[in-house]
């Protein structure tokens, strides 16, 4: 069943966003952000498929955060959230082309980054002493800006740590854990990250050229936006749902990698090795192939 053009701005709209149901109006979806994808969908210029029984319009996106999208469109409000939740909501804002919401979230993230920034709690010498132990954990520790290049950091747990602007160049990080680590603008150039865990890590602006991430697990809202991955080996890596918008992937080995639902908008894939890669549901809008 296809919908006729909406009759007025107060016309009700029933939405099914990834299985979650929402009710709103044409006015809400079109007024605050008139240049958005949602405004275009419900402008009356397009015919939208509807469920034959419920009349709902289905959108294959995360329904959890759409309530925040609607609240933004209704009254311009953005709730207080954790940094990882802001990152997830930002992806939805970018998908729906809600530029005002995206700017607001980026401002909030900037404030959080400023609030969380402080000097590293340890020195390189401290880290070298610690890694002599059989089981090393730096969970939640601030290691921002440290030079940890060329160290053997295999199986070290950096989960929840802050390693912004840290230098891991040529470090041996096999099976290291970076779960929900804040690693913006860090360098992993030529590092061995084989079988490491980077679930939920924020690597925006990081440098990973010539790094080995073979069989690494990087799923769940991983942010690689703008990251330098040139020449990196990510063969077989799990990048499901990762944000790779604008990432540099020249010479990157993504053979047999899981890129399902990945955000690959505006990425140049002409020199990227993608044989056997899974791309189901990936956003390739503006990508060069």
- Report pLDDT digits (tens) over 114-166: 545 557 889 999 999 999 888 899 998 899 999 999 999 999 999 889 998 89
pLDDT over 70 percentage in the chain: 88
Other beta carbons within 10 angstroms of residue 136's beta carbon come to 16
Burial of 178 (0-12, 13-18, 19+ CB in 10 A): buried
Closest CA to 94 of 257, 289, 246: 246
Q: What is the mean pLDDT of residues 262-266?
A: 83
Q: Which helix (H) or strand (E) holds 57?
A: strand 57-59
Last residue of a domain, one of 110, 133, 157: 110
Q: Mark whether 139 and 239 lie in a shared domain.
A: yes
Give the DSSP letter of residue 140.
Answer: T
Q: In this structure, is residue 117 part of a structural domain?
A: no
> Residue-wise over 23-54: b if at least 16 C-beta within 10 A, else e?
ebbbbbbbebbeebebbebbeeeeebebeeee
Domain region containing 89: 12-110
Residues 145 and 100 in one domain: no
In this prediction the pTM is: 0.50
Number of H helices, E strands in the chain: 6, 3
Q: What is the pLDDT of residue 9?
A: 64
């Amino acid at each position: 069943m296809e919908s006729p053009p909406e009759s007025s701005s107060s016309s009700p709209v029933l939405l099914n966003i990834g299985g979650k149901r929402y009710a709103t109006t044409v006015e809400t979806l079109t007024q605050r952000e008139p240049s958005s994808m949602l405004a275009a969908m419900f402008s009356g210029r397009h015919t939208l498929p509807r469920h034959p029984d419920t009349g709902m319009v289905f959108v294959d996106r995360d329904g959890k955060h759409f309530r925040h999208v609607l609240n933004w469109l209704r009254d311009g409000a953005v709730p207080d959230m954790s940094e990882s939740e802001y990152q997830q909501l930002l992806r939805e804002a970018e998908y729906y082309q809600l530029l005002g919401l995206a700017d607001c979230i980026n401002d909030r993230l900037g404030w959080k980054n400023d609030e969380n920034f402080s000097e590293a709690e340890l020195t390189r010498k401290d880290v070298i002493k610690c890694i002599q132990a059989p089981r090393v954990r730096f969970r939640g520790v601030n290691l921002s800006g440290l030079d940890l290049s060329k160290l053997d950091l295999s199986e070290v747990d950096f989960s929840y740590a802050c390693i912004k602007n840290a230098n891991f160049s040529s470090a041996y990080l096999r099976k290291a854990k970076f779960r929900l680590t804040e690693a913006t603008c860090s360098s992993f150039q030529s590092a061995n990250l084989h079988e490491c865990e980077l679930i939920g890590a924020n690597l925006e602006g990081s440098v990973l050229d010539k790094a080995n991430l073979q069989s690494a697990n990087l799923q769940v809202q991983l942010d690689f936006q703008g990251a330098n991955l040139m020449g990196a080996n990510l063969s077989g890596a799990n990048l499901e749902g990762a944000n790779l918008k604008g990432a540099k992937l020249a010479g990157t080995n993504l053979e047999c990698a899981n890129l399902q639902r990945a955000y690959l908008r505006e990425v140049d894939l002409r020199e990227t090795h993608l044989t056997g890669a899974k791309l189901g549901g990936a956003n390739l809008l503006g990508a060069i192939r």
